[in-house]
Amino acid sequence: MTPPRASATLFANRIGSVGIVERQYAHFDEPLPLNSGNVLERFTLAYETCGTLNAERSNVIMIFHALSGDAHVAGYHTASADEKPGWWDEAVGPGKMFDTDRFYIICANVIGGCQGSTGPSSIAPDGRPYALRFPVITMQDMVRAHRRLLDHLGIKRLWAAVGGSMGGMQALQWAVDYPDCVDNLIFLASTPRSSTQQIAFNEVGRQAIYADPHWDNGNYYGFGHPIPAAGLSVARMVAHITYMSENSMQAKFGRQLQNGAGILPYRFDVPEFTVESYLKYQGEKFVNRFDANSYLYITKAIDYFDIAAGYGSLQAALERVQAHVLVATFSSDWLYAAWQSQEMVQALLNLGRPVEYQHLEAHFGHDSFLVETELMGYVVGGFLERRWTKRGAAPAEAASRSAAS
Protein backbone atom coordinates (compact mmCIF):
# COMPACT_ATOMS: atom_id res chain seq x y z
CA MET A 1 0.00 0.00 0.00
CA THR A 2 1.25 3.47 -0.81
CA PRO A 3 1.37 6.13 1.92
CA PRO A 4 -0.21 9.53 1.30
CA ARG A 5 1.93 12.05 -0.60
CA ALA A 6 2.20 14.26 2.50
CA SER A 7 4.07 11.52 4.35
CA ALA A 8 6.39 10.51 1.50
CA THR A 9 9.48 11.86 3.26
CA LEU A 10 8.61 10.07 6.46
CA PHE A 11 8.11 6.73 4.77
CA ALA A 12 11.23 7.13 2.64
CA ASN A 13 13.14 6.21 5.78
CA ARG A 14 11.00 3.16 6.43
CA ILE A 15 12.70 0.79 4.03
CA GLY A 16 10.42 -2.04 2.94
CA SER A 17 7.42 -0.68 4.80
CA VAL A 18 3.94 -1.51 3.58
CA GLY A 19 3.08 2.09 4.48
CA ILE A 20 -0.25 3.02 5.98
CA VAL A 21 -2.70 0.19 6.55
CA GLU A 22 -6.34 0.45 7.55
CA ARG A 23 -7.99 -1.68 10.20
CA GLN A 24 -11.13 -3.23 8.75
CA TYR A 25 -14.09 -4.92 10.40
CA ALA A 26 -16.24 -7.82 9.27
CA HIS A 27 -19.57 -8.23 11.07
CA PHE A 28 -21.35 -11.58 11.20
CA ASP A 29 -24.97 -12.01 12.24
CA GLU A 30 -24.99 -15.79 11.75
CA PRO A 31 -24.50 -17.76 14.99
CA LEU A 32 -21.07 -19.26 15.60
CA PRO A 33 -21.28 -22.66 17.34
CA LEU A 34 -18.53 -23.19 19.92
CA ASN A 35 -16.81 -26.28 21.25
CA SER A 36 -18.24 -25.62 24.71
CA GLY A 37 -21.76 -26.19 23.34
CA ASN A 38 -22.54 -22.49 23.57
CA VAL A 39 -23.25 -20.24 20.61
CA LEU A 40 -21.97 -16.75 19.84
CA GLU A 41 -25.06 -15.23 18.25
CA ARG A 42 -23.16 -12.51 16.41
CA PHE A 43 -19.57 -11.36 16.29
CA THR A 44 -17.09 -9.00 14.68
CA LEU A 45 -13.56 -9.67 13.47
CA ALA A 46 -10.96 -6.92 13.10
CA TYR A 47 -8.45 -7.55 10.34
CA GLU A 48 -5.79 -5.88 8.24
CA THR A 49 -4.37 -6.71 4.83
CA CYS A 50 -1.12 -5.92 3.01
CA GLY A 51 -0.10 -6.49 -0.59
CA THR A 52 -2.30 -7.21 -3.60
CA LEU A 53 -4.63 -10.15 -4.10
CA ASN A 54 -3.91 -11.72 -7.48
CA ALA A 55 -6.61 -12.51 -10.03
CA GLU A 56 -6.66 -16.20 -9.12
CA ARG A 57 -6.79 -15.38 -5.38
CA SER A 58 -4.00 -17.90 -4.98
CA ASN A 59 -1.35 -15.79 -3.20
CA VAL A 60 -2.97 -15.46 0.22
CA ILE A 61 -0.89 -15.88 3.37
CA MET A 62 -2.75 -15.67 6.66
CA ILE A 63 -0.56 -14.80 9.63
CA PHE A 64 -2.00 -15.70 13.03
CA HIS A 65 -0.96 -13.66 16.04
CA ALA A 66 0.25 -14.82 19.44
CA LEU A 67 -1.39 -14.26 22.84
CA SER A 68 -0.74 -10.53 23.13
CA GLY A 69 -0.84 -9.75 19.40
CA ASP A 70 -3.53 -8.28 17.18
CA ALA A 71 -4.40 -7.69 13.53
CA HIS A 72 -1.76 -4.97 13.12
CA VAL A 73 1.03 -7.17 11.80
CA ALA A 74 2.84 -4.55 9.69
CA GLY A 75 2.87 -0.95 8.59
CA TYR A 76 1.42 2.11 10.30
CA HIS A 77 -2.06 3.41 11.03
CA THR A 78 -1.04 7.06 10.67
CA ALA A 79 1.81 9.11 9.25
CA SER A 80 3.01 10.11 12.72
CA ALA A 81 6.76 9.82 13.17
CA ASP A 82 6.18 8.60 16.74
CA GLU A 83 3.94 5.68 15.86
CA LYS A 84 5.29 2.18 16.29
CA PRO A 85 4.84 -0.21 13.38
CA GLY A 86 2.98 -3.53 13.41
CA TRP A 87 4.21 -6.32 15.65
CA TRP A 88 6.02 -8.21 12.82
CA ASP A 89 6.85 -5.24 10.63
CA GLU A 90 10.43 -6.38 10.07
CA ALA A 91 9.12 -9.56 8.45
CA VAL A 92 6.22 -8.24 6.35
CA GLY A 93 6.68 -5.86 3.44
CA PRO A 94 8.17 -5.42 -0.04
CA GLY A 95 11.20 -7.68 -0.39
CA LYS A 96 10.90 -8.97 3.17
CA MET A 97 10.33 -12.48 4.49
CA PHE A 98 6.63 -12.20 3.70
CA ASP A 99 7.03 -10.29 0.47
CA THR A 100 4.01 -8.09 -0.18
CA ASP A 101 5.15 -7.61 -3.78
CA ARG A 102 4.25 -11.28 -4.19
CA PHE A 103 1.81 -12.22 -1.44
CA TYR A 104 -1.47 -10.90 -0.07
CA ILE A 105 -1.18 -10.91 3.72
CA ILE A 106 -4.16 -11.17 6.05
CA CYS A 107 -3.98 -10.91 9.84
CA ALA A 108 -7.07 -10.90 12.06
CA ASN A 109 -7.60 -10.44 15.78
CA VAL A 110 -9.02 -13.58 17.43
CA ILE A 111 -12.47 -13.79 18.96
CA GLY A 112 -12.08 -13.33 22.69
CA GLY A 113 -9.54 -10.59 21.99
CA CYS A 114 -9.71 -6.90 22.75
CA GLN A 115 -8.32 -5.26 19.64
CA GLY A 116 -11.47 -4.93 17.58
CA SER A 117 -12.77 -8.51 17.49
CA THR A 118 -15.65 -9.55 19.72
CA GLY A 119 -14.53 -10.50 23.22
CA PRO A 120 -15.49 -10.09 26.87
CA SER A 121 -15.11 -6.28 26.72
CA SER A 122 -17.50 -6.05 23.75
CA ILE A 123 -21.11 -5.00 24.07
CA ALA A 124 -23.51 -7.94 24.23
CA PRO A 125 -26.95 -7.90 22.55
CA ASP A 126 -28.48 -6.63 25.81
CA GLY A 127 -26.39 -3.46 25.63
CA ARG A 128 -23.97 -4.34 28.43
CA PRO A 129 -20.37 -5.63 28.18
CA TYR A 130 -20.19 -9.41 28.06
CA ALA A 131 -17.58 -9.65 30.85
CA LEU A 132 -17.60 -13.28 32.07
CA ARG A 133 -20.88 -13.91 30.28
CA PHE A 134 -18.77 -14.23 27.13
CA PRO A 135 -18.64 -17.95 26.27
CA VAL A 136 -15.44 -19.89 26.86
CA ILE A 137 -13.57 -20.37 23.59
CA THR A 138 -10.99 -22.73 22.11
CA MET A 139 -8.37 -22.51 19.39
CA GLN A 140 -10.77 -24.38 17.13
CA ASP A 141 -13.44 -21.71 17.75
CA MET A 142 -10.95 -18.99 16.78
CA VAL A 143 -10.16 -20.80 13.55
CA ARG A 144 -13.85 -21.39 12.82
CA ALA A 145 -14.44 -17.64 13.10
CA HIS A 146 -11.48 -16.88 10.83
CA ARG A 147 -12.88 -19.29 8.26
CA ARG A 148 -16.02 -17.14 8.21
CA LEU A 149 -13.79 -14.14 7.51
CA LEU A 150 -12.20 -15.79 4.49
CA ASP A 151 -15.63 -16.76 3.16
CA HIS A 152 -16.65 -13.13 3.62
CA LEU A 153 -13.62 -12.03 1.59
CA GLY A 154 -14.31 -14.56 -1.14
CA ILE A 155 -11.08 -16.46 -0.48
CA LYS A 156 -11.32 -20.24 -0.72
CA ARG A 157 -7.74 -21.26 -0.08
CA LEU A 158 -4.67 -20.20 1.87
CA TRP A 159 -1.39 -20.51 0.07
CA ALA A 160 0.17 -20.50 3.52
CA ALA A 161 -1.05 -20.54 7.12
CA VAL A 162 1.65 -19.04 9.34
CA GLY A 163 2.06 -18.55 13.06
CA GLY A 164 4.46 -18.46 15.96
CA SER A 165 3.57 -19.44 19.54
CA MET A 166 -0.24 -19.32 19.84
CA GLY A 167 -0.31 -18.32 16.19
CA GLY A 168 1.29 -21.66 15.35
CA MET A 169 -1.52 -23.43 17.17
CA GLN A 170 -4.07 -21.64 15.01
CA ALA A 171 -2.16 -22.38 11.81
CA LEU A 172 -1.94 -26.07 12.71
CA GLN A 173 -5.63 -26.15 13.61
CA TRP A 174 -6.40 -24.69 10.17
CA ALA A 175 -4.37 -27.43 8.45
CA VAL A 176 -6.21 -30.15 10.38
CA ASP A 177 -9.75 -28.72 10.30
CA TYR A 178 -9.63 -27.44 6.70
CA PRO A 179 -6.99 -29.61 5.01
CA ASP A 180 -8.26 -28.86 1.50
CA CYS A 181 -7.79 -25.13 2.07
CA VAL A 182 -4.13 -24.93 3.13
CA ASP A 183 -1.21 -25.44 0.72
CA ASN A 184 1.62 -24.67 3.15
CA LEU A 185 1.88 -24.60 6.94
CA ILE A 186 4.60 -22.64 8.76
CA PHE A 187 4.76 -23.62 12.43
CA LEU A 188 7.17 -21.56 14.55
CA ALA A 189 8.13 -21.87 18.23
CA SER A 190 4.88 -23.62 19.04
CA THR A 191 3.47 -26.93 20.20
CA PRO A 192 0.81 -29.43 19.09
CA ARG A 193 -0.53 -29.41 22.66
CA SER A 194 0.01 -27.36 25.79
CA SER A 195 2.15 -29.04 28.43
CA THR A 196 1.55 -29.13 32.17
CA GLN A 197 4.24 -26.48 32.74
CA GLN A 198 2.73 -24.17 30.14
CA ILE A 199 -0.69 -24.51 31.73
CA ALA A 200 0.86 -23.82 35.13
CA PHE A 201 2.42 -20.53 34.03
CA ASN A 202 -0.88 -19.41 32.50
CA GLU A 203 -2.70 -20.24 35.71
CA VAL A 204 -0.30 -18.11 37.77
CA GLY A 205 -1.14 -15.18 35.49
CA ARG A 206 -4.88 -15.77 35.86
CA GLN A 207 -4.59 -16.03 39.63
CA ALA A 208 -2.84 -12.65 39.70
CA ILE A 209 -5.83 -11.14 37.89
CA TYR A 210 -8.35 -12.87 40.16
CA ALA A 211 -6.51 -11.54 43.21
CA ASP A 212 -6.75 -7.92 42.07
CA PRO A 213 -9.58 -6.32 44.11
CA HIS A 214 -10.59 -4.28 41.06
CA TRP A 215 -11.26 -7.39 38.96
CA ASP A 216 -14.68 -7.72 40.63
CA ASN A 217 -15.37 -11.12 39.07
CA GLY A 218 -14.85 -9.60 35.64
CA ASN A 219 -17.35 -6.77 36.10
CA TYR A 220 -14.92 -3.86 36.01
CA TYR A 221 -16.24 -2.18 32.86
CA GLY A 222 -18.02 1.13 33.11
CA PHE A 223 -17.34 4.76 33.87
CA GLY A 224 -15.44 5.32 37.10
CA HIS A 225 -14.67 1.63 37.73
CA PRO A 226 -10.92 1.01 38.06
CA ILE A 227 -9.50 -1.82 35.97
CA PRO A 228 -7.50 -4.70 37.52
CA ALA A 229 -4.24 -3.11 36.41
CA ALA A 230 -2.02 -4.58 39.12
CA GLY A 231 -3.16 -8.15 38.48
CA LEU A 232 -2.84 -7.90 34.71
CA SER A 233 0.58 -6.27 35.06
CA VAL A 234 1.86 -9.15 37.19
CA ALA A 235 0.39 -11.67 34.73
CA ARG A 236 2.30 -9.98 31.91
CA MET A 237 5.52 -9.86 33.93
CA VAL A 238 5.36 -13.61 34.61
CA ALA A 239 4.61 -14.38 30.96
CA HIS A 240 7.34 -12.07 29.71
CA ILE A 241 9.95 -13.96 31.71
CA THR A 242 8.96 -17.15 29.88
CA TYR A 243 9.43 -15.43 26.50
CA MET A 244 13.09 -14.67 27.22
CA SER A 245 16.07 -16.92 27.92
CA GLU A 246 18.37 -16.82 30.93
CA ASN A 247 21.29 -15.89 28.68
CA SER A 248 19.41 -13.03 27.02
CA MET A 249 18.31 -11.67 30.40
CA GLN A 250 21.85 -11.95 31.74
CA ALA A 251 23.30 -10.20 28.69
CA LYS A 252 20.70 -7.44 28.78
CA PHE A 253 20.50 -6.77 32.51
CA GLY A 254 22.93 -8.86 34.54
CA ARG A 255 22.79 -7.72 38.15
CA GLN A 256 22.91 -4.04 37.22
CA LEU A 257 21.32 -1.69 39.69
CA GLN A 258 18.76 0.80 38.52
CA ASN A 259 20.50 3.78 40.14
CA GLY A 260 23.72 3.06 38.24
CA ALA A 261 25.76 3.83 41.34
CA GLY A 262 26.43 0.24 42.33
CA ILE A 263 25.01 0.87 45.79
CA LEU A 264 22.03 -1.08 47.11
CA PRO A 265 19.28 1.28 48.32
CA TYR A 266 17.80 -1.44 50.58
CA ARG A 267 14.19 -0.53 49.75
CA PHE A 268 10.99 -2.26 48.60
CA ASP A 269 9.12 0.74 47.20
CA VAL A 270 11.28 1.22 44.09
CA PRO A 271 12.86 -1.25 41.63
CA GLU A 272 16.47 -1.82 42.65
CA PHE A 273 17.73 -3.97 39.76
CA THR A 274 17.33 -2.98 36.11
CA VAL A 275 15.57 -6.26 35.39
CA GLU A 276 12.94 -5.32 37.98
CA SER A 277 12.40 -1.96 36.34
CA TYR A 278 12.17 -3.59 32.91
CA LEU A 279 9.50 -6.06 33.99
CA LYS A 280 7.54 -3.33 35.74
CA TYR A 281 7.63 -1.28 32.53
CA GLN A 282 6.47 -4.25 30.45
CA GLY A 283 3.57 -4.85 32.83
CA GLU A 284 2.44 -1.23 32.86
CA LYS A 285 2.70 -0.94 29.08
CA PHE A 286 0.61 -4.08 28.61
CA VAL A 287 -2.17 -2.77 30.85
CA ASN A 288 -2.60 0.21 28.53
CA ARG A 289 -3.46 -1.95 25.52
CA PHE A 290 -4.94 -5.23 26.77
CA ASP A 291 -8.03 -6.34 28.61
CA ALA A 292 -7.70 -8.53 31.71
CA ASN A 293 -10.71 -10.69 30.87
CA SER A 294 -9.38 -11.28 27.36
CA TYR A 295 -6.17 -12.48 28.98
CA LEU A 296 -8.19 -15.04 30.95
CA TYR A 297 -10.09 -16.30 27.91
CA ILE A 298 -7.13 -16.51 25.55
CA THR A 299 -4.81 -18.25 28.02
CA LYS A 300 -7.57 -20.79 28.69
CA ALA A 301 -7.85 -21.42 24.95
CA ILE A 302 -4.09 -22.04 24.89
CA ASP A 303 -4.37 -24.45 27.83
CA TYR A 304 -7.16 -26.41 26.14
CA PHE A 305 -5.18 -26.77 22.92
CA ASP A 306 -4.39 -30.35 21.93
CA ILE A 307 -4.51 -31.00 18.22
CA ALA A 308 -5.08 -34.72 18.91
CA ALA A 309 -8.32 -34.05 20.81
CA GLY A 310 -11.15 -35.94 19.15
CA TYR A 311 -8.82 -38.03 16.99
CA GLY A 312 -7.33 -40.43 19.52
CA SER A 313 -3.70 -39.66 18.76
CA LEU A 314 -1.41 -37.00 17.37
CA GLN A 315 -0.69 -39.07 14.30
CA ALA A 316 -4.40 -39.60 13.61
CA ALA A 317 -4.99 -35.85 13.72
CA LEU A 318 -2.00 -35.08 11.50
CA GLU A 319 -3.13 -37.67 8.96
CA ARG A 320 -5.62 -35.02 7.84
CA VAL A 321 -2.85 -32.53 6.97
CA GLN A 322 -2.30 -32.11 3.23
CA ALA A 323 -0.07 -29.04 3.39
CA HIS A 324 3.66 -28.92 2.91
CA VAL A 325 4.95 -28.16 6.43
CA LEU A 326 7.84 -26.11 7.79
CA VAL A 327 8.55 -26.47 11.51
CA ALA A 328 11.12 -24.31 13.30
CA THR A 329 12.25 -24.52 16.92
CA PHE A 330 14.82 -22.48 18.84
CA SER A 331 17.62 -23.70 21.08
CA SER A 332 16.92 -21.19 23.87
CA ASP A 333 13.12 -21.53 23.87
CA TRP A 334 12.23 -23.20 27.16
CA LEU A 335 8.55 -22.25 27.03
CA TYR A 336 7.76 -24.31 23.92
CA ALA A 337 10.63 -26.77 24.02
CA ALA A 338 11.91 -28.33 20.80
CA TRP A 339 10.85 -31.87 21.74
CA GLN A 340 7.18 -30.90 21.45
CA SER A 341 7.54 -29.85 17.82
CA GLN A 342 9.88 -32.75 17.10
CA GLU A 343 7.13 -35.15 18.17
CA MET A 344 4.89 -33.57 15.55
CA VAL A 345 7.61 -33.71 12.89
CA GLN A 346 8.17 -37.42 13.54
CA ALA A 347 4.45 -38.13 13.27
CA LEU A 348 4.31 -36.29 9.92
CA LEU A 349 7.34 -38.24 8.69
CA ASN A 350 5.71 -41.52 9.77
CA LEU A 351 2.71 -40.52 7.65
CA GLY A 352 4.89 -39.70 4.67
CA ARG A 353 3.85 -36.06 4.72
CA PRO A 354 6.20 -33.44 3.24
CA VAL A 355 7.79 -31.71 6.20
CA GLU A 356 10.92 -29.61 6.70
CA TYR A 357 12.35 -29.14 10.17
CA GLN A 358 14.86 -26.56 11.39
CA HIS A 359 16.22 -26.43 14.93
CA LEU A 360 17.86 -23.03 15.12
CA GLU A 361 20.58 -21.72 17.41
CA ALA A 362 19.14 -18.51 18.81
CA HIS A 363 19.72 -16.68 22.09
CA PHE A 364 16.51 -14.73 22.64
CA GLY A 365 14.34 -17.54 24.01
CA HIS A 366 10.77 -18.03 22.85
CA ASP A 367 10.70 -14.56 21.27
CA SER A 368 13.46 -15.57 18.85
CA PHE A 369 10.91 -16.11 16.08
CA LEU A 370 10.09 -12.40 16.31
CA VAL A 371 13.55 -11.02 17.09
CA GLU A 372 15.88 -13.11 14.90
CA THR A 373 14.71 -11.46 11.68
CA GLU A 374 17.75 -12.27 9.55
CA LEU A 375 17.78 -15.93 10.60
CA MET A 376 14.04 -16.26 10.11
CA GLY A 377 14.31 -14.57 6.72
CA TYR A 378 16.77 -17.24 5.62
CA VAL A 379 14.67 -20.15 6.89
CA VAL A 380 11.10 -18.99 6.31
CA GLY A 381 11.85 -16.77 3.33
CA GLY A 382 13.77 -19.61 1.71
CA PHE A 383 10.89 -22.02 2.29
CA LEU A 384 8.39 -19.60 0.78
CA GLU A 385 10.63 -19.00 -2.23
CA ARG A 386 11.05 -22.72 -2.91
CA ARG A 387 7.38 -23.46 -2.48
CA TRP A 388 6.27 -20.53 -4.66
CA THR A 389 8.66 -21.60 -7.41
CA LYS A 390 7.21 -25.13 -7.30
CA ARG A 391 3.59 -24.04 -6.98
CA GLY A 392 2.71 -25.37 -10.45
CA ALA A 393 3.31 -28.87 -9.12
CA ALA A 394 0.99 -28.40 -6.14
CA PRO A 395 -2.18 -29.82 -7.79
CA ALA A 396 -0.32 -32.96 -8.85
CA GLU A 397 1.13 -33.37 -5.36
CA ALA A 398 -2.30 -32.95 -3.78
CA ALA A 399 -3.82 -35.49 -6.17
CA SER A 400 -1.05 -37.96 -5.37
CA ARG A 401 -1.59 -37.59 -1.61
CA SER A 402 -5.33 -37.97 -2.07
CA ALA A 403 -4.88 -41.18 -4.06
CA ALA A 404 -2.47 -42.54 -1.46
CA SER A 405 -4.99 -41.97 1.33
Catalytic residues: 165, 333, 366
Nearest one of 338, 384, 357, 385 to 162, comparing CA atoms: 384
Polymer length in residues for the chain: 405
**Separation of first and last alpha carbons in the chain:** 42
Round to whole Å and give the CA distance between 405 and 397. 12
Q: In whole angstroms, give the CA distance from residue 158 to residue 323.
A: 10
Amino acid letter for position 272: E
114 near 121, Cβ under 8 Å? yes
CA–CA gap between residue 41 and residue 21 (Å, rounded): 30
String of b and e for 213-227 (b: at least 16 CB within 10 Å)?
eebeebebbeeeeeb
